Amino acid sequence: MSGETDDKPQPLIEHLIELRSRLIWALGAFFLAFIVCFYFAKPLFNMLVVPYKWAVSWAGMDLSKAELIYTAPQEFFFTQVKVAAFGAMVIAFPVIASQIYKFVAPGLYKNERAAFLPFLIASPLLFLLGASLVYFFFTPMVMWFFLAMQQSPGEGEVAISLLPKVSEYLSLIMTLVFSFGLVFQLPVITTLLARVGILDSRWLADKRKYFIVVAFVVAAVLTPPDPLSQIGLALPTILLYEVAIYAARLVEKNRARSAEAADLAEASSSEET
């Protein structure tokens, strides 16, 4: 039966042992990935600097001027630690997600497991899609906006040049990646809520105007204080909200078909009896 679970009554100590085992696997995967990423921290950081080079090229500047600085002896070291932790979380996420799923799956009904499993695949893919949008478009655009504010020396004017710090540049790109990655989870979250009956497409459509305002407010909080990145996050968020409404409608249609099929099966069985 679809309503059966694999969960069996267990003492609390056995649940804690199971939880400890899953945590060990998750932390072990993160630690191993962290070691590998820390060894390649400089190449990884150089890869993150590529969007800045694109912005320098867009601004019509010499690529030799695309440089970053650090003003404290330990700053670049801790920047590499953050890069390694960031990369380790991305690499170890499939293992961490699978361990979470294995811990909670025995307590789920079989139909709930079948419904939940696709979202474990969709969630990281949508996160990577948001991160790719940041890497290939929004980070170069934001850095180009900041580079355009530089001032050349002239009569009555002094030279004002942008010299980003390695830690601040990393904080900027990580903030954008996490912001877009989380926003791109919106269709997953709304579809899950629609499956359990908490939300429906009509309610989402009715609240569209309020969501647009909230999207711009959240974008202003999560992104740097420049209009390009704020609008750049708000517009995809609104588009994803429309995708979420469509996904909720699909869930409702599938639920209606399942209910109709169940009614037909019940009617046919009653006729046979």
For residue range 69-124, list pLDDT tens digits in order: 999 999 999 999 999 999 999 899 888 888 888 887 777 667 666 667 677 788 88
pTM of the model: 0.76
The Cβ of residue 155 has, within 10 Å, a number of other Cβ atoms equal to: 4
* Interval 250-262 mean pLDDT: 76
Reported residue count of the chain is 273
Q: What percent of the chain has pLDDT over 90?
A: 21
Per-residue pLDDT, 87:
92
CB of 198 closer than 8 Å to CB of 224: no
Residue with tokens 């590499």: 80
Residue with tokens 């039966």: 1
- Which of 35-49, 87-101, 243-257 comes out lowest in average pLDDT? 243-257
CB of 83 closer than 8 Å to CB of 167: no
Q: Is the pLDDT of residue 27 over 50?
A: yes
Name the more confident of 117 and 51.
Answer: 51
Per-residue pLDDT, 31:
96
Segment holding 269, helix H or strand E:
helix 227-272
CB of 34 closer than 8 Å to CB of 88: yes
* Interval 146-165 mean pLDDT: 82
Q: Is the pLDDT of residue 65 over 80?
A: no
Q: Spell out the residues 6+ positions from residue 117 whose beta carbon is closer than 8 angstroms to its own.
A: 101
- Which of 74-83, 103-112, 158-167, 195-204 comes out lowest in average pLDDT? 103-112
Per-residue pLDDT, 2:
46
Name the more confident of 248 and 20.
Answer: 20
Using CA atoms, how far apart are residues 139 and 172, in angstroms rounded to an integer? 8
- Which of 6-10, 15-19, 46-50, 195-199 comes out lowest in average pLDDT? 6-10
Name the more confident of 271 and 154.
Answer: 154
Partnered with residue 5 across adjacent β-strands are: 109
Q: Is the pLDDT of residue 210 over 70?
A: yes
Return the exposure string of 198-210: e unless at least 16 CB atoms fall within 10 Å of the residue's CB, then b.
ebbbeebeeeeee
Q: Is the pLDDT of residue 271 over 70?
A: no
Per-residue pLDDT, 34:
96
Q: Is the pLDDT of residue 142 over 50?
A: yes
Provide the pLDDT confidence category of residue 4 given band limits of 50, 70 and 90.
low
Which range of 34-43, 159-168, 225-234 scores highest in mean pLDDT? It is: 34-43
